[in-house]
Homo-oligomer: A and B are copies of this chain.
């Protein structure tokens, strides 16, 4: 194996200089950088981080699949995963599934298995049977609200508790007709299952309105879905004095509709979202929301995945991914916080 010292000798520089070039530090002159790169190319040297992975039978690449990069929550989460993985010498191959079951199945089956050490997936439509029929034994970590009976680590905040906290905040402000925006068709398996349950438990416990007339379904979780659902809810005569939305995008869409109808936020209708995306902090009425601890989610997901990778040096490239470790799957619950802003408290 060609080492740093071989490159240094060939280029006529110190090992430290080679290291500086490899790590992309700025204070190397272009001429020196060219000389070192030439030596690297001639000798076929692989920088340490890659070499270390290769020695262990790994590629140093993990794949992360999210429903939509256009949803800032997932984009922000992806940034956290990429940053944390980089600190562990891993590169992240990022994919998106559009929340479609066929794309999610394709991802967990790992078509590019030989190039990827492990997978992190935030599923929307994936079913238990898909996980059971998975085939691939590359380590897999699941993120988010969907719950599965499958032997995989799962990272998710306590969605029921978070939804109860959001609903309680509205109840404490005196709201009694709190709608839920963003349920899905079909009851038990919908992704919004836990947040809807949290809303229902909290309004019921408080003796507030909990009727189905206050539950608005959506096709997805975009701003457009929120705008349409809010319009339907208002047209139905349900007359809510508050809405708890599945996520911030739905809430932002709902606030747009409220504005078009001449209803004031929060005076006429208070609004709470979920995700704490940056957009919410710059709305005409800044958005009260549940902030999942994204950094912790990213850290736990990467750590859980790396813990399942083959630790020591491996024999052949063919065995570059280890079978699922016999350790029992873990359910990890990062924290969350309620962030009250103008959409419930009004402008100070």
Q: Which residues of A contact B (CB under 8 A)?
A: 22-26, 30-31, 33-34, 36-38, 40-41, 44, 46-47, 49-50, 59-61, 68-70, 72, 75-76, 78-79, 82, 91-96, 101-103, 105-106, 109, 111-112, 114-115, 129, 132-136, 222-223, 227, 252-253, 255-256, 259, 278-279, 281-284, 318
Contact = CB atoms under 8 A, between A and B. Distances in A.
A111 B24 CA distance: 9
Tell me if A's interface is mostly helix, strand, loop or mixed: helix
Number of copies: 2
A49 B259 CA distance: 50
20 contacts: A22-B111, A24-B103, A24-B106, A24-B111, A30-B133, A34-B135, A37-B109, A40-B135, A50-B112, A50-B114, A69-B76, A69-B82, A70-B75, A70-B76, A72-B75, A82-B95, A227-B282, A252-B282, A256-B282, A256-B284
Nearest to A68: B79
Contacts of A68: 79
Contacts of A278: 70, 222-223
Contacts of A61: 93, 115
Given A72-B72, A79-B70, A136-B37, A282 B223 contact: yes
Contacts of A252: 279, 282
A101 B70 contact: no
Nearest to A259: B284
A22 to B, nearest CB: 7
A277 to B, nearest CB: 9
Q: Pick from A47, A95, A103, A255 the residue with the most CB of B within 10 Å.
A: A95
Contact of A78 (B69, B105, B114, B259): B69
Given A223-B281, A278-B223, A282-B256, A111 B75 contact: no
